A = this chain, B = another copy of it.
Amino acid sequence: MDAAGAMNSPPWSLDPRLDRDTATLGDLPLCRALVMKDANYSWLILVPRRPGMVEIIDLDASDQAALMGEIELAARALKVVTRCDKLNVAALGNTVPQLHVHIIARFRDDAAGARPVWGVAPAKAYDDGELERFAAAMRRAIGLD
């Protein structure tokens, strides 16, 4: 973005619903890394810190490349920390328009089974300290500590 564009754009801020539903891991060069407050799944969300983005194709080529690199970093760290059976990676945006990418560790016997996680089971609160322990492990694995 050129200087004039930067001056005319509103600053980026996290969508209020994403803010409410997540805890913050920290900021990668492009994305804010979040953890969903749902103990049913080990569930990360990456949000490119660019104002007004809705689709992956709204990002320029350089940001798309950075996004893929941060998906690789976060997904690999999530697999190492959780030893999951499968990763789900998705940019849907059916309810929250701000561009965000879900990275979810899946297990054969988890709350959604063979289905995608969205809308299957109500969010389950983490036990005391459990979310902070998971977040700390993820920060270490991603290099955000």
Q: Which residues of A contact B (CB under 8 A)?
A: 54-57, 61, 64-65, 67-69, 71-72, 75-76, 79, 86-95, 106, 114-116, 118-119
Q: How far is the CA of A92 from the CA of B105 in the complex (A)?
A: 10
What are 22 pairs between A and B in contact, CB < 8 Å? A55-B79, A55-B87, A56-B71, A56-B75, A56-B89, A57-B75, A57-B79, A61-B69, A61-B72, A64-B69, A65-B68, A67-B68, A87-B93, A88-B91, A88-B92, A89-B91, A90-B92, A90-B116, A92-B116, A94-B106, A94-B116, A95-B114
A-B contact sample (9 more), CB < 8 A, given A61-B69, A88-B94, A92-B116:
A54-B86, A56-B71, A56-B89, A64-B69, A65-B65, A65-B68, A86-B94, A88-B92, A115-B118
From DSSP, what is the main secondary structure of chain A's interface residues? mixed
Q: Is the CB of A91 within 8 A of B94?
A: no
Q: How far is the CB of A15 from chain B (nearest CB, A)?
A: 15
Q: Is the CB of A94 within 8 A of B115?
A: yes
